[in-house]
Chain A
Amino acid sequence: MSHSPLHISCQEVVELVTDYVEQALPADQASVFEQHLNFCDGCVLYVDQVRKTIDVVGELRAEDVPEETKAKLMSAFRDWKRG
């Protein structure tokens, strides 16, 4: 969180955005978060994009993912876990 309780930076918006859209921020943090959105159009766009992404991903079912894509993802995860 910010060094100041009065405001947050764009970087902090990026860090807190998931908690914000899931309404998991405490009220005081949500308040300074929204104050930032009130004057920062760039962060408003960013939050909108995150919301839309969550909406789209939330509607996606496992069976909607093509087998080929599933195989590529599983391979990527295995490589990532190997380090």
Chain B
Amino acid sequence: MKAYKFLRPQGTGVFTGYGWPLPAAGPGEWVSADLDPCHSGIHACAVYHLPLWLGRILYEIELDGEIVDDAMKLVASRGRLVRRVDRWDEQAYAEYTRMCADRAHELAQEHGLEGWDAVIEPSVPEGGALLGFIAARIAEEIDGEDGYHRERATQTDWLADRLQLSS
């Protein structure tokens, strides 16, 4: 199954620090782990999970074995990195951050929530993960959980289109 995984710049897991075998001439080596979501296993993203786990470096990963798809992530018993998603570079990251900031301003101003404006611009240097959350959080204030999910879907569509990703 094709999926995606954000890593730290050195090729290590964001939360585990695990050093992933990186693809070179071909895919990286297979990595196996017991499957226990959030505690053990190969954690990855379907396209619609990407805004929740946004990071600086993105890889395409092939998942195999037992695979669990919950609301927030994929977890598998086996995986290997296939390629780095080169379109996810500094420029794309900055564009995504700006898009989320603009959406956050737009939502806040349309619905009389200008108090959020004081939060949005100072948060831009923190990056796209935070701005994506802020935009979704404002949408949630306007329209509850449905609003939150709609905004996350808007962010997913932007990433899929800009990076030409498919599941």
Contact = CB atoms under 8 A, between A and B. Distances in A.
Interface of A: 4-7, 23, 25, 27-28, 30-32, 34-35, 37-41
Contacts, number: 48
A34 B43 CA distance: 12
Nearest to B129: A39
A41 B126 CA distance: 8
B38 A6 contact: no
A30 B38 contact: yes
A78 B136 CA distance: 50
Interface residues of B, number: 23
A28 B145 CA distance: 16
Helix, strand, loop or mixed for chain A's interface?
Answer: helix
Contacts of B113: none
B133 interface: yes
A6 B145 contact: yes
Contact of A39 (B36, B37, B126, B148): B126
Given A30-B39, A38-B55, A6 B140 contact: yes
B119 interface: no
B14 interface: yes
Given A7-B133, A31-B72, A38 B39 contact: no
Nearest to A25: B38
Contacts of A35: 52-53, 72, 133
Interface string B106-146: 00000000000000000000110110110001001000010
Nearest to B39: A23
B85 interface: no
A38 B14 contact: yes
Q: Which of A6, A23, A40 has the most CB of B within 10 A?
A: A6
The 6 A-B pairs at the shortest CB distance, nearest first, are namely: A30-B38, A39-B129, A39-B130, A27-B37, A27-B38, A31-B72
